[in-house]
Structures are given as structure tokens and as C-alpha cells.
Homo-oligomer: A and B are copies of this chain.
């Protein structure tokens, strides 16, 4: 029940993406409290790549709409690759260490969805994490567990394969615990150069996932939207739900797919959980 967005393109001021009123790209999401659907008031986070190899993260447990420091930061930080996430807890504690995005070395990870009956399968999943990675787990969420499983299964060398193996394990463990539909997810992960996005659920009824129409087209269709003029032609957004009401702006990622946004052609492939060993 979380929402997230990932941006890749020419460096852009964070507030242009997150906070500009009306026609901003995720303003509506931050203000979903006004909307007809679930509020995402259980913390938020942003992660971005700056001058260093490792990304920075800013995360807090307040509703994003109240956080004055987020507004300050968003007016100062420019970045070519931004992750933003607003959380609606599915049960685990509201604390900074449970806020997305999660970070390991150069990698960021954020998730919308849930591992079903997580408290029943958590121990088995934790045991499958590489003991060398285990000490770096900071929080208590299913989302971070999934990240560390993906790291265990090779995220840093083969992101799609690693996530397929992590999800394969989650489904296997879940079913051994009698859980019919062990996982649902949209996930984004990045190494600072590319963004991989995943849409999958055991039930074949995943949460939504969208990527943006190319900026050139969009700019022609919507000359009235200022932020589009600040986006470079190569800019891409991947989002858990369409942001704004720009007609023609969003393409839905198909069920059980993964894609990658990178220099050169983007790609879109089927996602198939894999069982290791």
C-alpha cells in the first residue's frame, strides 16, 4: 500500500519532482491524504546519487507532507537518479530503519507490496540470507528482507536473476508454510547507473507499475506543464501509480515483468521466479 517513484535523467532539483504544487509529478501522491484512497502517512524516504559512489538517503517517520526538513532538502539537492517512497505500514513498526529506500553499498531498493504472513516465514527467510550480509540488516520489514535475499542471490551482478531467485525462495518457503499467495510486489532497485523495476505477484494480480512516455512526446502534448520543460529528453520516471493527470503520460508495465531504464534502449522482459538448489 506504499507508493514510490524512481527518476533517471539530467540532474533535476528534487523539489521539481516531489513538491511543486499542481502539475508536479508526485505532489498528488504526497497529498493522497486529501484523496479518496489510503493515506501513506507511516513514514517516507528519498534516496539519491550525488558526487559519491554511495547514494544518500533521507528518511523519517512523520507523514511526508509535514516534514519541513524534506522541503528544505528538496530545494537544495539536484540529482540524476532519485528514489522516493511513501509508506503505509502493513504491520511492522513505524521507525526510520523500516523506511524505504534501503541501501547497501551503491544499491538502493524500494518496494510496494507484502510478503504474506511475514511473521510466520520471517525466520526461514532470514536464515537464507548470506551470514556476511546479515549484520547489515537494520530494520524489521519484509521489504528489507527481500532486499537482502536479492543481495544474497547476486543482485550486484545479475539484478533480474537475483530477484527471480529471491522471489522463488519466498514462494517456496511460503508454500511450505501453507500460504497460497506468498508475495505481491513492485520493486525498484538501482546501482546509480540503471534502474531495474519489477512487477509480480503469486496470484498474478500485482499492484500497478508504470513508466513514463518519452519526454519529447509529452512536452508536445502538454506545453502548459512547466516541469516538463525542465526534464531532459532522456528523462524517465517509473512509478507505482500514475502521478498527475497527464493524459498519455503513462504506460503500464505488464503483469509478471521486469524492465530496466539505462543508457541506450530500455528493456522489458517477463519475470519468472526461480527456485535455487
Q: Residues on A close to B: CB < 8 A?
A: 33-34, 36, 38-39, 41-42, 50-52, 56-63, 66, 68-69, 72-73, 75-77, 89, 93-97, 119-120, 122-123, 126-127, 131, 134-135, 137-140
Contacts and interface: CB of A to CB of B under 8 A. Distances in A.
A97 B76 CA distance: 20
Nearest to A135: B119
26 contacts: A36-B36, A39-B39, A39-B41, A41-B41, A41-B66, A51-B76, A52-B75, A52-B76, A56-B76, A58-B69, A59-B68, A60-B69, A62-B62, A62-B94, A66-B89, A93-B138, A95-B97, A97-B140, A119-B135, A122-B134, A123-B135, A126-B126, A127-B127, A137-B140, A138-B140, A140-B140
Contact of A69 (B41, B59, B75, B120): B59
B39 A58 contact: no
Contacts of A89: 66
A18 to B, nearest CB: 15
Copies of this chain, tallied across the complex: 4
Nearest to A57: B72
A34 B32 CA distance: 11
Contacts of A72: 56-58
Contact of A33 (B41, B52, B59, B68): B41
A2 to B, nearest CB: 14
Contacts of A73: 56, 58, 73
B52 A66 contact: no
A215 to B, nearest CB: 24
Centre residue among A77, A94, A120, A138 by max chain B CB count within 10 A: A94
A42 B66 contact: yes
A96 B95 contact: yes
A63 B62 CA distance: 8
Nearest to A36: B36
Nearest to A94: B66
Contact of A62 (B36, B61, B77, B137): B61
A271 B120 CA distance: 36
A263 B181 CA distance: 53
A69 B67 CA distance: 12
Contacts of A96: 68, 93, 95
Given A69-B58, A94-B66, A95-B95, A134 B123 contact: yes
Contacts of A51: 76
